[in-house]
Structure 1
Amino acid sequence: MTANPPPNSKRPAKRVGIGARPPANPHAEAWIRQGDGDALNKGDTYTARLTLDITPAMRSRIKVSAFTQGVTVADVLRALLEREFPEHRRENTP
């Protein structure tokens, strides 16, 4: 259904169709799916999102620390958590 323009409109009533989808190019599809080399490496490791509430002051201190180290906040927090909770931790046994 094409809507007619108001009588005083200067635009003609014209309906433009969208053309057919171009045929798929297997080489282009493979290139798109390949993505960035870094993205593939990041996908090798399973990750899970962790959300926690902190004060704005704590968030600011973390951000400043990350900035001065030249890394992201996520990198700083991952390193901190890895130090505190290493994969192979010795248990303190009496």
Structure 2
Amino acid sequence: MADMTAKPPLNSKRPAKRVGIGARPPANPHAEAWIRQGEASALNKGDCYTARLTLDITPAMRARIKVSAFTQGLTVADLLRGLLEREFPAHRKEDTP
């Protein structure tokens, strides 16, 4: 760590200055709330998906899935979750009496 009170070299024409560090600016409550909101939503998103599914597919199928996700502006995980949700909804008509 550099010594802020060190004297300048003898050939320097500038006088030695001590640089003070100011106090931390007051926190903006709106900014703090916005940051905490993002942290909370990240935690909640992970809570929804707690099971992992492993599936062996061909490299060609993986490539088609990745291209499809990219062109739709989605992640592969989100694309596949949507596909599975459409195919296996939580409440199906034939499941209810």
TM-score by length of 1: 0.55
Given candidates 55, 62, 70, the residue that maps to 1:59 is 62
In the TM superposition, 1:8-87 aligns within 5 A as 36-87=39-90
TM-score by length of 2: 0.54
* Uncovered stretches (5+) of structure 2, i.e. residues with no partner: 1-35
Q: Percent identity?
A: 80
For 2:89, the aligned partner's letter is P
For 2:94, the aligned partner's letter is E
Q: CA RMSD in A?
A: 2.1
Q: How many residues align?
A: 59
Structure 1 pair 46–70 and aligned structure 2 pair: CA distance change class (3 A): closer
Structure 1 pair 62–48 and aligned structure 2 pair: CA distance change class (3 A): same
Higher helix share: 2
- Per-residue deviation at 1:46? 4.8
What SS does the corresponding residue of 1:36 show, helix, strand or coil? helix
- Report the Cα distance in structure 2 between the residues aligned to 1:69 and 1:79, rounded to whole angstroms: 12
- Per-residue deviation at 1:41? 1.9
- Report the Cα distance in structure 1 between the residues aligned to 2:70 and 2:78, rounded to whole angstroms: 11
- Report the Cα distance in structure 1 between the residues aligned to 2:71 and 2:48, rounded to whole angstroms: 27
- Per-residue deviation at 1:36? 2.0
- Report the Cα distance in structure 1 between the residues aligned to 2:46 and 2:94, rounded to whole angstroms: 31
Structure 1 pair 59–46 and aligned structure 2 pair: CA distance change class (3 A): closer
